[in-house]
């Protein structure tokens, strides 16, 4: 049963929209964004058929130092509240079909300070504090339309480490450095606490504790812009502390990934992508991943801002996990989704996901989930778009491309400093 904070989140989001202002230029000294996302699911086939309801309320804000004579400085914080049940417990899937899913908790998710030197297309930016790794690393813009977690950050990285990397729903203390030598090239480096949050306090408001044996998660990525809307990302990551291997012994968790996104030449307003990654199958269940999909904006003339897409997420189970745990060698998720933009503040998104060989349970049957997502958003002084998952309070630190109205589907700027 979804508890009272669900209705509180809806009420606060709707109420705030009446008081929100319009965008300003230059960026305001203080900006605030509020978003409430509610998901309802029916599972007619899976390990536990039934229903699941999930709700996430987010409040974020950014303070820029320019108005105080601190040019280039900024500070950002984000708090979220999650309530609801587990969809994956009903589907039996490994990849977490709903990217809202978490233990019921209220949490300070981000709290960082940053400084940027230089202009937008030739700059250096440094950030330190509680940081969402996925806001800067391993994200594919058109894939942000989809609800399955693998299209936000792939499972070869998201399932790594002793408590996952610094991503939703548990962040870690870290620092990132972004170097932009030109409008076409961006380099990103990051170092994070090797154990995100505090495994002994999974529902703590500030879930971070530093231990001598945690080690570090280090990650490096290069973004190459090709043309106006095409991009290649390549990255590598590694944990400095060894972890128990599946079976016997210990090993270091490490991996690499690459992605490519671009408009489809023969289909205007259609964008496609492919992403692949590998990880150490001795230390985690997923040893490899391949994901791909296409998304289109404005499929119907009378609804130019709606988006439709289909995507495939294929997680490869490592040989040790398959042998020791008896899991299938791979799990494949196929997702079909359509997002209705009813207004700038309201988006409604029916979603269908089919899971072939769910890999969280031994001999799990194929599963089907039918869902509906409702997003309400507002902000001050800039109102964020309900169909844009980025945080509008955080200006980009890379070399972003400004997308005109006729841009391909889901061309969005990453939610980074």
pLDDT single digits (tens) 250-289 = 899 999 999 999 999 887 789 999 999 999 999 999 999 9
Q: Quick check: 214 and 157 in contact, CB under 8 A?
A: no
Question: What's the confidence (pLDDT) of residue 301?
Answer: 82
- What distance, in Å, lies between the first and last C-alpha atoms of the chain? 37
DSSP strands (E only) in 46-120: 50-64, 73-84, 105-119
Please tell me the pTM assigned to this model: 0.88
User: In the predicted model, is pLDDT for residue 2 greater than 60?
Assistant: no
Q: Please report the pLDDT score of residue 112 as a whole number.
A: 97
What value, to the nearest 5°, has the Cα angle with vertex 236 and ends 231 and 240? 155
Q: What is the mean pLDDT of residues 146-174?
A: 95
CB 34 within 8 A of CB 378: yes
Tokens encoding 204: 């703590």
CB 358 within 8 A of CB 94: yes
The confidence score (pLDDT) of residue 228 equals 79
Q: What is the largest CA-CA distance in the chain?
A: 62
**pLDDT category of residue 399 using cuts at 50, 70 and 90:** low
Helices and strands: H and E segment counts in the chain:
4, 18
Distance, CA of 360 to CA of 95 (rounded, Å): 9
pLDDT confidence bin for 227, thresholds 50/70/90: confident
Could you tell me which residues come within 8 angstroms of residue 266 by beta carbon, excluding any fewer than 6 positions away? none
Tell me the domains of the chain and their CATH numbers: 5-380 (2.40.160.180)
Of the candidates 38, 143, 78, 5, the one whose C-alpha atom is nearest the C-alpha of residue 379 is 78
Least confident of 64-78, 257-271, 290-304, 386-400: 386-400
Residue 358 reports pLDDT greater than 90: yes
Distance of alpha carbon 114 from alpha carbon 77, whole angstroms = 12
Asked whether residue 370 carries a pLDDT value surpassing 90, the answer given is yes
Least confident range from 156-160, 191-195, 302-306: namely 302-306
Task: List pLDDT tens digits, range 381-392.
Answer: 888 888 888 888
Q: Quick check: 11 pLDDT over 50?
A: no
What's the confidence (pLDDT) of residue 200? Answer: 86
Confidence at 247, pLDDT banded by 50, 70, 90: confident
Q: Determine the average pLDDT of the residues in 75-85.
A: 96
56 within 8 A of 82, measured Cβ to Cβ = yes
Strands 330-341, 307-317: pairing is antiparallel
Residue 278 phi, psi dihedral angles, 5° rounding:
-130, 155
408 compared with 281, residue with greater pLDDT: 281
346 strand-pairing partners: 376
How much is the average pLDDT of 49-66? 96
Residue-level pLDDT at 25? 57
C-alpha span between 224 and 186 (Å, rounded): 7
Grade residue 349 by pLDDT with cuts at 50, 70 and 90: very high
Query: Does residue 37 surpass a pLDDT of 70?
Result: yes
97: left (phi over 0), alpha (psi -120 to 50) or beta: alpha
Rounded-to-integer distance, Cα 397 and Cα 125, Å: 7
Counting other chains too, the contacts that 67-73 makes at CB distance below 8 Å and 24 or more residues apart are 67/29, 68/29, 72/115, 72/116, 72/117, 73/113, 73/114, 73/115
pLDDT at 26: 64
Instruction: Please identify which residue in the block is written with the tokens 């813009």.
Output: 141
Q: Residues 296, 299, 305, 308: is their CA dihedral positive or negative?
A: negative
What does the pLDDT average to over 141-151?
Answer: 96
């Amino acid at each position: 049963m979804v508890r009272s904070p669900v209705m509180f989140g809806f009420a606060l989001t709707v109420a705030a929209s009446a008081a929100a202002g319009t965008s300003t230029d230059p960026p305001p000294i203080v900006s605030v964004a509020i978003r409430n996302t509610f998901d309802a699911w029916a599972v007619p086939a899976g390990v536990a058929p039934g229903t699941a309801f999930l709700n996430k309320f987010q409040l974020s804000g950014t303070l820029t130092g320019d108005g105080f004579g601190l040019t280039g400085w900024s500070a950002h914080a984000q708090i979220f509240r999650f309530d609801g049940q587990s969809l994956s417990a009903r589907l039996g899937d490994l990849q977490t079909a709903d990217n809202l899913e978490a233990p019921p908790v209220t949490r300070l998710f981000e709290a960082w300070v940053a400084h940027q030197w230089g202009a937008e297309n030739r700059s250096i930016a440094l950030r330190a504090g509680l940081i969402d790794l996925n806001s800067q690393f391993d994200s594919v813009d058109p894939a942000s339309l989809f609800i399955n977690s693998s299209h936000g950050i792939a499972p070869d990285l998201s399932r790594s480490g002793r408590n996952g990397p610094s991503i939703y729903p548990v962040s870690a203390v870290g620092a990132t450095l972004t170097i932009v030598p030109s409008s076409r090239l961006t380099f990103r480096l990051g170092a994070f606490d090797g154990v995100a949050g505090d495994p002994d306090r999974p529902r703590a408001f500030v879930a971070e504790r530093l231990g001598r044996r945690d080690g570090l998660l280090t990650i490096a990525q290069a973004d190459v812009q090709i043309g106006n809307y095409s991009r290649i990302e390549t990255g590598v990551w590694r944990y400095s502390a060894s972890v128990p291997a599946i079976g016997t012994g210990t090993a270091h968790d490490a991996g690499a990934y690459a992605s490519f996104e671009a408009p489809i030449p023969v289909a205007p307003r259609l964008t496609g992508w492919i992403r692949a990654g590998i990880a150490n199958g001795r230390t985690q269940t997923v040893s490899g991943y391949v994901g791909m999909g296409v998304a289109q904006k404005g499929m119907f003339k009378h609804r130019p801002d709606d988006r439709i897409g289909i995507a495939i997420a294929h997680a490869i189970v490592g040989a040790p996990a398959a042998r020791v745990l008896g899991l299938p060698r791979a799990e494949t998720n196929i997702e079909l989704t359509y997002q209705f933009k009813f207004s700038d503040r309201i988006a409604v998104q029916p979603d269908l996901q089919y899971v072939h060989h769910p890999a969280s349970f031994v001999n799990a049957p194929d599963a089907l989930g039918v869902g509906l997502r409702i997003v309400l958003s507002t902000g001050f002084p800039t109102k964020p778009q309900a169909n844009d998952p980025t945080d509008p309070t955080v200006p980009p630190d890379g070399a972003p491309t400004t997308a005109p109205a006729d841009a391909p589907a889901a061309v969005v700027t990453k939610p980074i400093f």
